[in-house]
Amino acid sequence: MASTPLTAASPDTPPARPAAPPPAEPTEQTEHAEPTVQAEQTVQGAARIHAALQKVTHPVRINPILTGAGILAWIAFSVLTETVSDSPRLPAPDIASIHRTTGFTAITGLVVAALAAGLWALSATRGRLGARAAGRVAHGSAWLFGAAVWAVFWEISTAKTDVLETPYFAAPQEILDHLWSDRRILAESLGNSLQLLALGFVLGLIAGLATGVVIGWWQQANYWVHPILMFLGPVPTLAWVPVIFALFPTAYSGAIFLIAVSVWFPITVLTRAGIVSVPRSYYDVTQTLGARSWFLVLRVSLPAALPSIFTGAFMALGSSFVSLTVAENFGVNSGLGWYLNWQKGWGDFPALYAGIVVLVGVCGVLLTLLFRLRGWVLRWEKELTRW
């Protein structure tokens, strides 16, 4: 900051020019030659600086051995799945299930290998697309290889040898088979789950923000609400289930409430914490600019509390998943939580795993989306280029 006082002080004036030629040699020749030499040196310097910076900011190094090994390992997985015969010890239904999807599984492996190879080829091209592809390949090659090793191990230990015994362990093919054959009911469950989660989360978020702002601003409200928050907030969702389903007219409304409560608690606590810690100078300065209470509440304290609120949102998302699966197991007879419980009742482990795969995907995607949202909303917080 302090190291560039000149540019800092007058950003609109051009940068300082090189000093006049040294007065020691006042001949005409040097006076004319000097500036051009200096200019050339500057340009050379700029090119060197650019190259050096490129190395610092883009340390992308694709490891060809690792990437190649990853691609080959996925091909090996496909070949293994397709050519090696399945274990004769497998029960008949499993054999049938594996048979249905073996070809598909082998193709999946080849598709992964082809995608990786394609991306690798793309990374050789110039421009932004190539740079992005190079980044992806460099970053993902270890995972590519690791996942292939895991897939081969999984395939051998289940379908090919039955070392990890059925029905508790399932081959990749069987999970794919269930994902496909149960696609209708899984999609329906996913839709119902997302709807219930969205309703509960949004309601809890609004209520939490409102409570947090109110108790962060008004001492009197804090006096009454804070103890309630501290005692009722941390009670696990499961404990509320009997009460809520007795008090609420429908199981669905009870489930929404259950999720909303589990979101409300962390959002309220962290909104309040964020608002309480807003520097007083923000209020002072906006007040002298003419701001009145609503401006202070909505346009100063709330944005200033956003980093804290997002921390609350991450906690809320986690606890809302818990509440969702709990609610779906009690009373609400649909959704992914219900699907898992239902398949458990049948003892159908491959189907259970298929449901878990979907749930894992949902949680991961939602969390990633929240991270992206946070990154965008709090972009002012990032360490950006300084002038």
Binding site for another protein (CB under 8 A): 1-2, 4-12, 279, 281-282, 284-292, 295, 299-300, 303-304, 306, 378-387
CB of 131 to another protein, least distance (A): 24
Nearest-10 crossing angle of helices 349-377, 302-329: 170
Alpha carbons 128 and 138: distance in angstroms, whole number: 15
CB of 376 to another protein, least distance (A): 12
Residue (50 or 386) nearer to another protein, CB:
386
CB of 16 to another protein, least distance (A): 12
Please, what's the b/e burial string for 348-387 (b: 16 or more CB within 10 A of its CB; e: otherwise)? bbbbbbbbeebbeebeeebeeeeeeebeeeeeeeeeeeee
- Residue 275's alpha-carbon distances to 213, 224, 256, 269, 314, in angstroms, are 7, 18, 27, 10, 18
CB of 216 to another protein, least distance (A): 17
Alpha carbons 162 and 174: distance in angstroms, whole number: 13
Closest CA to 16 of 3, 25, 4, 26: 4
Residue (219 or 288) nearer to another protein, CB:
288
CB of 1 to another protein, least distance (A): 5
Residue (5 or 345) nearer to another protein, CB:
5
CB of 20 to another protein, least distance (A): 21
Q: Which two tokens stand for residue 157?
A: 């230990």
CB of 270 to another protein, least distance (A): 17
Residue (19 or 246) nearer to another protein, CB:
19
Residue (12 or 28) nearer to another protein, CB:
12
Decide if 192 contacts 202 (C-beta within 8 A).
no
Residue (7 or 250) nearer to another protein, CB:
7
Residue (8 or 72) nearer to another protein, CB:
8
CB of 279 to another protein, least distance (A): 8
User: For residue 233, what are the contacts with CB-CB under 8 A and spacing of at least 6?
Assistant: 264, 265, 268, 269
Alpha carbons 174 and 182: distance in angstroms, whole number: 12
- Residue 320's alpha-carbon distances to 125, 169, 200, 204, in angstroms, are 44, 29, 8, 10
Alpha carbons 116 and 129: distance in angstroms, whole number: 15
Closest CA to 193 of 337, 309, 77: 337
Residue (126 or 292) nearer to another protein, CB:
292
